[in-house]
A and B are shown apart, each in its own frame.
Chain A
């Protein structure tokens, strides 16, 4: 597609349920990032994929969070046993490669845990 696509755009889930958030990066982009943004706050780094290298998971807040990137393209962020503090906008971005500083962001998935 023309840009980074995220789905769903909005997700309301009950506390304790698992959720999956999807990101379709720009075709050909080897770098993919997940961030979390709470209301009125900055972007909190979660995880970074670069090509076939092992992902940088250093930003994942707990073991309830995990992410995969299949075939070097689509990525899924999974949150298990969701908590109310997980409520935020989850943003995905991709860039052409690690040496390219321009990252293109999707519109985000707004997650609300009730």
Chain B
């Protein structure tokens, strides 16, 4: 069936370095792809989305890249900070149903 998954379960980076979190998807009909951040004990929080007809979108310290040829999505975080430590989920949205989430990548920022 259709699914959203992630390559790496845990990513450890040094404070100040750039982080790249990857995600693979299988549903070509998705309208949007979204990244969420979940801190311990909290619900997920929206970070950034990208429409399926785009290949790049930038936000504040974050960039999302979409490669539809290989069905790959990535989240780049510039100058990673301790506050960025969390689990990151990619999700897809087809417009006809709710968001479908991947299994998540834990980002650990080392001081």
Residue numbers of A with Cβ under 8 A of B are 4, 31, 33, 35, 41-43, 45, 48, 56, 58-59, 91, 93, 98-99, 101-108
Contact = CB atoms under 8 A, between A and B. Distances in A.
Interface centre among A35, A43, A105 (most CB of B within 10 A): A43
Interface of B: 32, 34, 41-46, 49, 89, 93, 95, 97-104
B7 to A, nearest CB: 14
A41 B46 contact: no
Contacts of A102: 34, 46, 49
Contacts, number: 53
Contacts of A105: 42-45
A56 B45 contact: no
A77 B99 CA distance: 18
A4 B42 CA distance: 12
Interface centre among B43, B95, B98 (most CB of A within 10 A): B98
A98 B103 contact: no
7 contacts: A31-B98, A43-B89, A48-B98, A98-B95, A101-B34, A102-B46, A102-B49
A102 B34 CA distance: 8
A42 B103 contact: yes
Given A98-B95, A101-B93, A102-B49, A45 B100 contact: yes
A33 B103 CA distance: 18
Nearest to A6: B43
B101 A35 contact: yes
Given A101-B32, A107-B42, A43 B49 contact: no
Contacts of A98: 95
Contact of B101 (A43, A101, A104): A43
Given A42-B104, A43-B89, A101-B32, A107 B99 contact: no
